[in-house]
């Protein structure tokens, strides 16, 4: 994610030239980054349920991510007033987490629904969903003019598949993961546990440094 955004910023400052909107390589790179984020959302929901996360703590976490999503929209409006972010990765994580939470204990149902959501999101195109108040759902005939667009269809399906993956990890590979976390570098562990802080901070820091340099 940081690498992708850094290269995007270099392109914005005309230091590095790339077509992030049309080049299959960069579109694929972005799709991989988004997929990893949303896959881990599903895995995290499984781990949270197994750890006995209370509803209060769950909704508090959702509120924090929701506030961050609004801040991203506001900041992008200042920077890109014509293409500001209305439904990006954080917005998708918030709504996906709410919808997927009741399914966190049901891996096979989640996997089946996830595959259906992905297929529907990639194949169904309806002009009515091009409307600004509906394009967050997906099913659009073209990408709306926004810097980050992660609609529910097909992307929620990735998180639902992540629930199935989370159950597989818990059932088959949970114990080997724990010793690895104890031997990982402190900075790497910190980044993993504070991913939202990293997400919110890395772009302002990189853009600020690039403004000073270029």
Q: What tens digit of pLDDT does each residue of 164-187 get? A: 999 999 988 655 455 545 555 565
Question: What are the structural domain ranges in the chain?
Answer: 2-213
Question: What distances in angstroms separate CA 148 from CA 21, 41, 76, 89, 154, one per listed residue?
Answer: 11, 18, 10, 7, 15
Arithmetic mean of pLDDT over the chain = 90
pLDDT interval class at 207 (50, 70, 90): confident
Q: What tens digit of pLDDT does each residue of 87-134 get? A: 999 999 999 999 999 999 999 999 999 999 999 999 999 999 999 999
What is the model's pTM?
0.88
pLDDT of amino acid 183: 55
Apex 201 CA angle, 211 and 78, nearest 5: 60
pLDDT of amino acid 176: 47
pLDDT interval class at 214 (50, 70, 90): confident
Q: Which residue has the tokens 């340099």?
A: 213
């Amino acid at each position: 994610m940081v690498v992708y955004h850094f290269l995007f910023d270099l392109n914005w400052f005309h230091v590095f030239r790339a077509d992030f909107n049309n080049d299959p390589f960069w579109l694929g790179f972005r799709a991989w980054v988004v997929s990893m984020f949303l896959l881990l959302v599903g895995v995290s929901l499984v781990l949270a349920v197994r750890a006995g996360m209370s509803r209060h703590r769950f909704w508090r976490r959702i509120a924090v991510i929701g506030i961050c999503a609004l801040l991203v929209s506001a900041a992008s409006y200042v920077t890109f007033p014509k293409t500001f972010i209305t439904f990006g990765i954080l917005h998708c994580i918030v709504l996906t987490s709410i919808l997927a939470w009741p399914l966190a204990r049901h891996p096979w149902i989640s996997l089946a629904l996830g595959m259906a959501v992905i297929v529907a999101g990639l194949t169904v195109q309806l002009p009515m969903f091009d409307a600004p108040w509906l394009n967050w759902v997906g099913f659009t005939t073209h990408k709306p003019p926004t810097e980050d667009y992660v609609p529910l269809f097909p992307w929620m399906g990735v998180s639902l598949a992540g629930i199935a993956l989370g159950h597989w990890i818990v059932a088959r590979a949970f114990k080997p993961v724990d010793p690895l976390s104890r031997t990982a570098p402190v900075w790497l562990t910190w980044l993993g546990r504070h991913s939202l802080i990293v997400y919110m901070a890395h772009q302002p820091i990189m853009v600020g440094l690039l403004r000073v340099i270029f």
